[in-house]
Amino acid sequence: MSFTLAIVGRPNVGKSTLFNRLVGKKLALVDDQPGVTRDLREGEARLGDLRFTVIDTAGLEDATDNSLQGRMRRLTERAVDMADICLFMVDARTGITPTDEVFAEILRRKSAQVILAANKAEGNAAEAGVLEAYGLGLGEPLRLSGEHGEGMPDLYSILLPLSEKYEEQAEDLNAVVETDTDLEENEDEDEDTVYEVAMPTAEKPMQVAVIGRPNAGKSTLINKILGEDRLLTGPEAGITRDAISLRVNWNDVPMRIFDTAGMRKKAKVQEKLEKLSVSDGLRAVKFAEVVVVLLDAAIPFEQQDLRIADLAEREGRAVVIAVNKWDIEDEKQDKLKQLKESFERLLPQLRGAPLITVSAKTGRGLDRLNAAILRAYQVWNRRMPTAALNRWLTGMLEQHPPPAPQGKRIKLRYMTQVKSRPPGFVVMCSHPDKMPASYSRYLVNGLRQDFDLPGTPIRLTLRGQGDKNPYKDKKKKNAGALKKHLGNLPRSKK
């Protein structure tokens, strides 16, 4: 990435629409309602041959107190400080408002490089607004249409010389770093690896999604992991709307952590915007590798918590249960005992999954949460040798043979692991449609216990092979060929 571009402006001027066009995906939520975006969302933008980081920001509000709008403004001002270039967007159809003039003055003081863009500039209705934009004193306004893609070549021509300048600065900085850094040899290269699977790398970081009900503390927890107030937080429920992904090296493990919107009961989700937020969170779960289900210690394992945990299991993700706000719990030992009993009783499909108590406010328990995420990731990726699986299957059959429904004995002949992430197994058997679900659970529980697969979803498929002799058709074919051959011989040779 050569530089960072922050898109700033009043609410509902089209910042998220332009962000989605630059990254080539519908990552940010877009709606006619103003103030949809609240957090900073980063993406890898492509414009011609340019590659850069683009930041979508919350709409600049004329508020400086500790209200939600004030906190959103401070977060946007922070993005202005982080970015190399600011794209100040105004609505050409609405025209310049007093709020635009206030923020133009702020950008003149804060940002070294500002590009003024008049969005929604397609058609004659935008001419007056484009002319008004000259009065902001930020140079000639760039006519854009984020929705229709107009003005992208002009934006490219403005960014190209700026990108070359930042690339030169980055090359000079790298030269200084390489001169001052001593390369150390890795003495542990020949040691046996601790884990059974390849660890995440900077190119392929571990994908972790944090999900839960509203106001469980998801954004606060991620801020504590990052070590900075990167996400908008507060006492109000439902602050987060977009599924925001953030990259972090947590205890030297590269991760991409997704903060998701709180998920309420389906019957209570009526507004269009909340439906979009929940669907964005569900999409984050589908792309995640490890899902952290965050509960509130005061009201854990409510019906919605169970649904959320079951969703992660059905999607085949590695699951870690984290109980937040543990710092305000008085009877910790009794409460922990109750939590473990409730977990085993209410979520049997996640038997053995780690249950970690944390405090997003103080940071207590984060090391244990990190270790639990790594452990769940290893188990989720694990593969077992076929020979070991079949020896295990023989022992399970001797200990408890399968039933014989309607007098038909079910024979389990062969077993192998066909996939990981999550572990998936196939058992070749006769009459797979007759196999009771209870016996399948017996095999799954045995796999979980004997091969150390706690908490991860296990997929077991029964595949029919029939009772046919594999040489039966071959014998018939050989017999037919011999008969035909004898029939062609002269009578004297028969």
Considering the domain 206-381 in this protein, what is its CATH number?
A: 3.40.50.300
Q: Which residues are annotated as a binding site?
A: 9-16, 56-60, 119-122, 212-219, 259-263, 324-327
With 0-12 / 13-18 / 19 or more C-beta atoms within 10 angstroms meaning exposed / middle / buried, residue 463 is exposed
Q: Which residues are annotated as a binding site for GTP?
A: 9-16, 56-60, 119-122, 212-219, 259-263, 324-327
Q: Say which CATH topology domain 3-28+36-174 has.
A: Rossmann fold (3.40.50)
pLDDT tier at 303 (50, 70, 90 boundaries)?
A: confident
Alpha-helical segments (H) within 116-199: 127-133, 152-180
With 0-12 / 13-18 / 19 or more C-beta atoms within 10 angstroms meaning exposed / middle / buried, residue 375 is middle
CATH 3.30.300.20 residue ranges of the chain are: 386-464
Q: Are 366 and 225 in contact (CB under 8 A)?
A: yes
Starting at the edge strand found earlier in the chain, the sheet holding 412-419 runs 412-419, 424-429, 459-464
Short-list 319, 311, 307, CA closest to 353: 319
**435 or 125: whose pLDDT is higher?**
435
pLDDT exceeds 50 at position 391: yes
CATH 3.40.50.300 residue ranges of the chain are: 3-28+36-174, 206-381
pLDDT tier at 362 (50, 70, 90 boundaries)?
A: very high
Q: Does domain 386-464 have CATH number 3.40.1190.20?
A: no
pLDDT exceeds 80 at position 354: yes
Q: Are 209 and 291 in contact (CB under 8 A)?
A: yes
Q: Which three-class secondary structure state does DSSP give residue 417?
A: strand
The tokens describing 117, both together, are 């863009």
Short-list 104, 114, 117, 184, CA closest to 151: 117
Query: Quick one: pLDDT at residue 289?
Result: 92
Quickly tell me which residue has 């854990």 as its tokens: 300
**247 or 174: whose pLDDT is higher?**
247
What pLDDT digit, counting tens, does each position of 108-159 carry?
A: 877 668 899 999 888 787 888 889 888 888 888 999 988 888 899 999 999 9
What pLDDT digit, counting tens, does each position of 186-224 carry?
A: 334 333 333 356 688 888 899 999 998 888 888 899 999
